[in-house]
Amino acid sequence: MRDFKLGGAELADDKKKRYAEVQEKLAALSTKFSENVLDATNDYKLLIADVAELKGLPEEVLQAAQHAAEQDGKTGYQFSLHFPSYFPVLQYAENRSLRETIYRANATKASELGDHPEWDNSAIIDELLSLRQEEAELLGYQNFAEISLLPKMAESATQVEGFLLDLANKAKPYAEKDLIELRQFANEQFGIDDMQAWDTTFVSEKLREQRYAFSEQEVKQYFPEHKVVAGLFNVIQTLFAVNIKTDSAATWHPDVKFYRVERDGELVGQFYVDLYARAAKQGGAWMDDARARCLKANGVQTPVVYLTCNFNAPVVVDGVTKPATFTHDEVITLFHEFGHGLHQLLTKVDDISVSGISGVEWDAVELPSQFMENFCWEWDVLQQMTAHTDTGEHLPRSLYDKMIAAKNFQSGLQTLRQVEFALFDMRLHDGSANAEQLSVAQVLQKVRDQVAVMQPPAFNRFQHSFGHIFSGGYSAGYFSYKWAEVLSADAYAAFEEVAKTEGSSLSRKVGQGFQTEILEMGGSRPALESFVAFRGRKPSIDALLRHNGMVQ
């Protein structure tokens, strides 16, 4: 009933016509927004001839850049704005001007400051917001946030803002401490007394290396693709009593793999895995469904999903193929997306409108995905999914201990960054920007003035590629990540509790409860009811603060 109403079913004929026009235009603009970001990303190529300018970059990053140049018939090292290419420059390049160059290119893509006016998303953003406001008014609501929140757990924009500001207040002292340490380190170690946005990633990595005596590149050598995927499958099979097997199907690229999930010999679902970045592929990581579980005349239709990431592909060096290796953050990303996949694959609901993730409140849909991330920090799990690319040895306990010690490094800054994005999103859609006659840029700056401890340069156009809210379904809903993180941290605490007595978080008993009360239920009942059925009480923020090291 709610969805029919939000689809314009109760409107008069003339308003139905306009509503349909608005929806068509919104769809076209969202697609164009994504295309502009992708075109700008694919177009940028930075060719460096002299390897001396690339001091600090890991060897495998140099090899990938050299390979990219060769594919374009060039000599040297070529970088793009795809994450696996540009981010290591910001993280490791000692050449400060090089870091600034690629930071500026990434921060201004798809904006009026880019090289291609036809890819500028400025007007698209304004038109999207205007049409969303019109849609809300057509349906009888004051603003788009009211529409967005109807199918969510959160009840109002005021409640969401209160939640975000409370989180910001708790995180800010830790973020301020993080920033003071970072600036002091930048000054003492690199003579940087005016630390800029293109310095923070580099300085942070060096501070982390010094404080915890390891680098991401060192850790990465222990995570070859085949071990990571096998380790992931082992976690799933242990917790949820299923078997994952290779399967065959037509794919859109030779790198794509296809698998099936079985329980007691019966097909539960199937999934594609597309892990590597490539030209013309949408950036980021996501799960989507090819088809959902539902009951048909000839029986149950089993679900099929896509699991997509953008990691570096294997590289051929001197005729030898080096396997793809993942950073620990990329391992976490893979587990995250597979959590979404589990929600879609393991549902037992036969009504397609509430099967899997369908019908699940948007601010609860991240619960299974963020829940799965926690296993990437468990010693017994990592033992099964690591093997050094040269020696084959498992991750050493000494290195694991350092990773755990560094787990909440700059968690204050990271939390404030997510709060900033979420507040910006909500204030664009809750009517306050219109009431105060603020531009999109002014809304963002006002949010930063309120919650941020670091200010990006004036040329930063982050909003022009903020696909989550302008083309990805998270409009007036980006807060869902933090909202669901409260749920996921508290849900995982149940596994931590049993680990104290059983010695492992891979508990089939607790996994059965999570599977039965959350994954299998899909959207067939309110997410809060599912959480309470699993946990025996309402969610608490305590576990989230503890997991992020933000407790006294």
Using alpha carbons, select from 529, 511, 169 the residue that is nearest to residue 368: 511
Q: Any alpha helices (H) in 93-143, and if so which ranges?
A: 96-107, 122-138
Q: Which residues pair with 266 in a beta bridge?
A: 263
Cα 247 to Cα 173, 293, 493: the distances in Å are 51, 19, 35
Q: Which of 60, 146, 337, 361 is catalytic?
A: 337
Measured N-to-C along each axis, helices 157-190 and 480-502 cross at an angle, to the nearest 10 degrees, of 80
Task: Write the DSSP symbol of residue 314.
Answer: P
- d(CA 345, CA 543) in angstroms, rounded, equals 27
CATH of domain 220-394: 1.10.1370.40
Per-residue pLDDT of the chain (552 residues; tens, 9 = 90+): 888 999 999 999 999 999 999 999 999 999 999 999 999 999 999 999 999 999 999 998 999 999 999 999 999 999 999 998 999 999 999 999 999 999 999 999 999 999 899 999 999 999 999 999 999 999 999 999 999 999 899 999 999 999 999 999 999 999 999 999 999 999 999 999 999 999 999 999 999 999 998 888 899 999 999 999 999 999 999 999 999 999 999 999 999 999 999 999 999 999 999 999 998 888 899 999 999 999 999 999 999 999 999 999 998 878 888 889 999 999 999 999 999 999 999 999 999 999 999 999 988 999 999 999 999 999 999 999 999 999 999 999 999 999 998 998 999 999 999 999 999 999 999 999 999 999 999 999 999 999 999 999 999 999 999 999 999 889 999 999 999 999 999 999 999 999 999 889 999 999 999 999 999 999 999 999 999 999 999 998 888 888 888 876
Backbone angles phi, psi at 438, to 5 degrees: -100, 140
Q: Do domains 144-213+408-552 and 220-394 have the same CATH topology?
A: yes
* Domain residue extents for the chain: 44-118, 144-213+408-552, 220-394
Q: Any alpha helices (H) in 306-429, and if so which ranges?
A: 328-345, 367-373, 379-384, 397-406, 411-429
Three-state DSSP state, 448: helix
Catalytic residue list contains 155: no
**Those residues with Cβ within 8 angstroms of residue 331's Cβ, 6 or more apart along the chain or in another chain:** 223, 228, 376, 385
Q: Among the CATH numbers 1.10.1370.10, 3.20.20.330, 3.40.109.10, 3.30.420.10, which is that of 144-213+408-552? A: 1.10.1370.10
Helix (H) or strand (E) holding 120: none
Report the phi/psi class of residue 273: left, alpha or beta, with left for phi > 0 and alpha for psi in -120 to 50: beta
